Amino acid sequence: MVTMDKLVSLCKRRGFIFPSSEIYGGFQSTYDYGPLGTLLKNNIKAQWWKAVVQQRDDMEPLDASILMHPRVWEASGHVAVFNDPLVDCKECKARFRADHLWCLTATHRDESKQYAVEAGEEDEALSKGRELHQIGKRWEVSAAPMVIDAAEGTPQVCPKCGAAGSFTEPRAFNMMFQTQVGPVEGSIAYLRPETAQGIFVNYDNVLTTMRRKLPFGIAQVGKAFRNEIVTGNFTFRTREFEQMEIEYFCWPEQSAEKHQEWIDARIAWYTRLGIARENLDLYEHPDHKRSHYSTRTVDILYRFPIGFAELEGIANRTDFDLSQHAEFSGKTLDYFDTKTERRVVPHVVEPSAGVDRNVLAFLTEAYTEEEYTDQKGGKATRTLLRLHPTLAPIKAAVLPLAGNREDLVATARALAAELREDFSVQYDDTGAIGKLYRRQDEIGTLYCITVDHQTIDDDGKVTIRDRDTMQQVRLAKDEVAGWLRDRVR
Ligand code: GAP
């Protein structure tokens, strides 16, 4: 399993992801996608658009603005509910979300001990509990959300420094970024904390202009901003991130079935693009974690280097959002079926995935270190990204075998130019072929095409080397584009 350090290092070294504003020392867990990261991210989004819109007849795309009417966030509940209770440890000054602290109580003989682990790491609390339970059979272990409430009299242990009972009272903290609109002070707006609300407020526009009937859905990709208290684990949790969200509007009695269909469809999408099924898991939100209006929420978890963690959430949100917007805007957001004369507020199934977490998941899955036998028969190790052909940032690299021979360079450059009509292609003559292969393997390039003396002097054929098998075939130069087209789908 690849470590996060190795991924971070490869991403930086090979131009996938850089710390943002790096020349100023970086800025608060923000990241910039470099040339290859941009291509990979775009490829992931393209595959998502293809699967959830192009290949279906019940979906429409949308691109709503980031700045929206402030009332949207009152209706959605973000103004009130996005108020996270925050506590500080008085000893080490670490800050936590009170509702994210999980507490393990381990009781041994007469002695009572308590452990706490931090935010979103409920699994860690549970596995720590299991571990303790196994070490000493006489430990009684239970895990529960930690209650930061003096009245409860629970001893509270800081997950960072271990100090007991040192938390401040919880204080409310809104995670939405505020900004001012225009020159007049007091005219505030929020940077959207999710793209979903842009879809809800356009539900009626899309329904009527596209003459849709239930069930149908709207898909959108875009940036979202949350002033997260705890960021980290590279791009896993940041304050600026991108989402790929769907709101699927259906009849109330269809929603449970549609919810399951979307869970299955999304799992199928990940596995089709190369994620091993055993690296995905499903997490059913228990009642206490689910919003009051949701009848079922399932997270798709991926085995990141930090362990299984949320990649995408799929919620059955009932009629909550449309009802709220109808109430706050005063506009009717009902659906009326003229045939049956039935009127409903549609129910909504919401598959919501993080683009950045997708990038991280596909990179984690693809990262491979393997031993191979080099040309001299010795053992060598190479690092490669086994990315799915549609996701690989570079589809082919054209490499002249002798970068100092003009006719060879000219032929290689002409071939690269021809292939660029349809594919992302690199041309490289800056090193020995072994070094060039290793460089391309590390960025996941599907095929290395070498132009050699024989190409020019003899048969007009080039050698194509497969990234995964390292097998080589020789093919006429003119056939390469078609050959590649058959393989990059
Ligand atoms: N509209 C529903 C919604 O926003 P969410 O579970 O808060 O649900 C959906 O977010 C997805 O967005 C998550 O599964 C995750 O992939 C991504 N995401 C959420 N917060 C993030 C953050 N701070 N950094 C990176 N990705 C994040």
Same domain, 300 and 337: yes
- Residue 118 included in any domain: no
Confidence of residue 1 (pLDDT cuts 50, 70, 90): confident
Same domain, 353 and 466: no
Same domain, 411 and 313: no
Last residue of a domain, one of 349, 367, 385: 367
Report the nearest-CA residue for atom 22 of ligand 1: 237
Q: 6-20, 178-192, 409-423, 470-484: lowest mean pLDDT where?
A: 178-192
Return d(Cα 184, Cα 9) in angstroms, integer.
Answer: 45
- Residue 342 included in any domain: yes
- Residue 377 included in any domain: no
Of the candidates 428, 435, 438, 426, the residue with the CA atom closest to the CA atom of residue 400: 428
Same domain, 357 and 415: no
pTM as predicted: 0.87
Same domain, 226 and 334: yes
Return d(Cα 47, Cα 313) in angstroms, integer.
Answer: 18
> Would the pLDDT of 108 be above 90?
no
Return d(Cα 489, Cα 487) in angstroms, integer.
Answer: 6
Q: 22-26, 266-270, 376-380: lowest mean pLDDT where?
A: 376-380
Confidence of residue 129 (pLDDT cuts 50, 70, 90): low
Domain range enclosing 435: 394-487
In tens, the pLDDT along 20-65 reads 999 999 999 899 999 999 999 999 999 999 999 999 999 999 999 9
Distance 353 CA to ligand 1 centre (A): 7
Report the nearest-CA residue for atom 14 of ligand 1: 312
Q: Which of 194, 201, 355, 362 to mutate to test the pocket of ligand 1 (most atoms within 8 A of CB)?
A: 194
Same domain, 336 and 410: no
Same domain, 295 and 409: no
At 281, which CATH number?
A: 3.30.930.10
| Distance (Å) of CA 374 to CA 68, 318, 437, 471, 489 | 58, 59, 12, 13, 30
Using a CB cutoff of 8 Å and minimum separation of 24, what contacts does 87-91 make? 87/148, 87/167, 87/168, 87/169, 87/170, 87/171, 88/167, 88/168, 89/158, 89/160, 89/161, 89/163, 89/166, 89/167, 90/163, 90/166, 90/167, 90/168, 91/158, 91/161, 91/163, 91/166
- Residue 292 included in any domain: yes
Helix locations, 107-165, DSSP H: 122-135
At 447, which CATH number?
A: 3.40.50.800
| 298: three-class secondary structure by DSSP | strand
> Would the pLDDT of 68 be above 80?
yes
> Would the pLDDT of 110 be above 50?
no
Distance 102 CA to ligand 1 centre (A): 20
In tens, the pLDDT along 145-181 reads 554 444 444 446 676 777 766 777 777 778 899 999 9
Structural domain count, the chain: 2
- Residue 354 included in any domain: yes
- Residue 198 included in any domain: yes
Same domain, 300 and 356: yes
Same domain, 255 and 331: yes
| Residue 467 structure tokens | 């990234």
Q: Which residue's entry shows tokens 């272990």?
A: 141
